[in-house]
Structures are given as C-alpha cells and as structure tokens.
Amino acid sequence: SPIDTAKFVAAKRAVDFIEDGMRVGLGTGSTAAWMVRCLGERIREEGLKITGVPTSSRTAELARQVGVKVISLDEARWLDLTIDGADEFDADLNLIKGGGGALLQEKIVATASDMMIVITDPSKQVEHLGAFPLPVEVVPFGWQTTKALIEESLGSLDVLGQTGTLRMNGDAPFVTDEGNHIVDLHLQRIGDPRKLSLVLNQIPGVVENGLFIDICDKVVIGHQDGRVEVTD
C-alpha cells in the first residue's frame, strides 16, 4: 500500500546510518518493523556486525527471525543509535510515542543512545503535539485514582482537552511488557509539552508518558512516491 511504501523507504534510509560494530536500539511499531527487516537484509548481504537492543517483546521476536543478534540493555549498557517510529513529531523534533504501548522501554532505550533517529510518514508531522492521544503508563495499583489525579493536574496546564481513557485489549485492560496499564489522554493540543511531561511524571502511580522531549536527533520522512527527507 502507499503508506507501507512511505514507511519502508523511511526505514531503509535510516538503516543506512548503521555502521559495523554499533549497538543499536530497535524500535516498536509498523515502521520500526520495516527497519528491522531492512537491517536483517544488510546483515545477510553485507555481513554487518551489530547487536540489537529491542524495545518490546514483539520487536525482539522479529529481530531474531531476521537474524539480528539480540542483547539486553543491561548487557549493552549504552547504545550508539536507536531507530524508532513516532505517532507525532513537531518542528522541535519533540514526539508523541506509545501508540503501540511500548513507550517505557522505548524511552529508556532512546535515552541510553548517543543518537535517536525517528522514522515516519507525512501523517506524523504536526504543528502542535496533541491531536494523537498521549499515552501515560500507570501501575495497576489504584490506577483509577491515578487517572483522576492526572485529569486534575491538567486543569492548570495549557491543554484543550482533559479526559483520559484506560486503554483496553479486547474487554480487558491493556497490559504493557512491564505489567502496567496505559491511560490515553485526549488533549487535542498541547501548548507546553515539556511542562506537561514533567507534571505527569510527578504524579504517584505514573511510570512514564509518551512525550519525548529533546531526545530525537533526526526525523526521516518517507513519502509514498519513494522520496525521503531527513530533518535534523
């Protein structure tokens, strides 16, 4: 499909940044999956020697299938490069991530990397973050209270919407790789993403949120006609 072409060309371009001997963070989502497949091809065709640190169990599974040597973040300690997708990115390269529910491991791995490259298609580019519901990872204990505290905290912030919804997986709450739940915040527009991220992470019961501030270094935008843009 055209959108798959856009994701594929972005993923393929990003894999060109990977050099022999690198420790690479492997993102989660459909665009990141194209990246893992392209990486597997480079390993097979060029004998590229790298190790990969996955950001979710499903990425780990795919990486092994295509022949990437998978190691844990604890074994790698620090990474040279992480390549991951995003749900939104703005002009400051701040992101909303977490649509796939892997935001906690994604943010830890991206922060442990010298460089983060985000692979996208034009639908992810926004003037202001917030049209995509902001995922907030919360511990299961007292999650309804935590959700209420989150909504209450929004009152003093520059956001338009103020409701959160518990993310479901069928008729049960969605459970992350870490065993937590996700509350999706329907904010419509986030005026000050940095402040919102700090306020959210102070709330007891909140583990992490999907705002990536000052983490992304490059965005690769793939287009359905095969064109690719790289933005620093």
Q: Which residues bind ligand DER (CB under 6 A)?
A: 27-32, 84-87, 97-100, 102-103, 106
How far is residue 219 from each of residues 90, 157, 170, measured CA to CA in Å? 10, 28, 33
12 annotated as a binding-site residue: no
Residue 218 structure tokens: 């490059």
Q: Least distance to ligand DER from the beta carbon of 118, Å?
A: 8
Distances (CA, A) of 167 to 123, 175, 196: 22, 9, 20
25 or 164: whose CB is closer to ligand DER? Answer: 25
Q: Is 146 known to sit in a ligand binding site?
A: no
Q: Decide whether 4 or 149 has the Cβ nearer to ligand DER.
A: 4
Instruction: Determine whether the annotation assigns residue 98 to a binding site.
Output: yes
Dihedral sign computed on CA atoms, order 156, 157, 161, 167? negative
Residue 97, annotated as binding a ligand: yes
Q: With respect to ligand DER, which residue has the nearer C-beta, 31 or 146?
A: 31
* Bridging pattern class, strands 23-26 and 79-84: parallel
Choice among 19, 41, 106, 151 that is catalytic: 106
* Residue whose CB is less far from ligand DER, 73 or 149: 73
Find the shortest distance in angstroms from Cβ 123 to ligand DER. Answer: 8
Determine whether 127 is an active site residue.
Answer: no
Residue ranges of alpha helices (H) inside the chain are 2-15, 30-46, 57-65, 73-76, 103-111, 143-153, 193-202
| 10 Rama class: left (phi>0) / alpha (psi -120 to 50) / beta | alpha
| Three-state SS at 134 | strand
CB of 49 to ligand DER, least distance (A): 26
b or e along 186-209 (b: 16 or more beta carbons within 10 Å of the residue's beta carbon)?
Answer: bbeebeebeebbebbeebebbbbb
Give least dist CB 88 to ligand DER, A: 8
Question: Binding site for substrate: what residues are annotated?
Answer: 28-31, 84-87, 97-100, 124
Catalytic residue annotation: 106
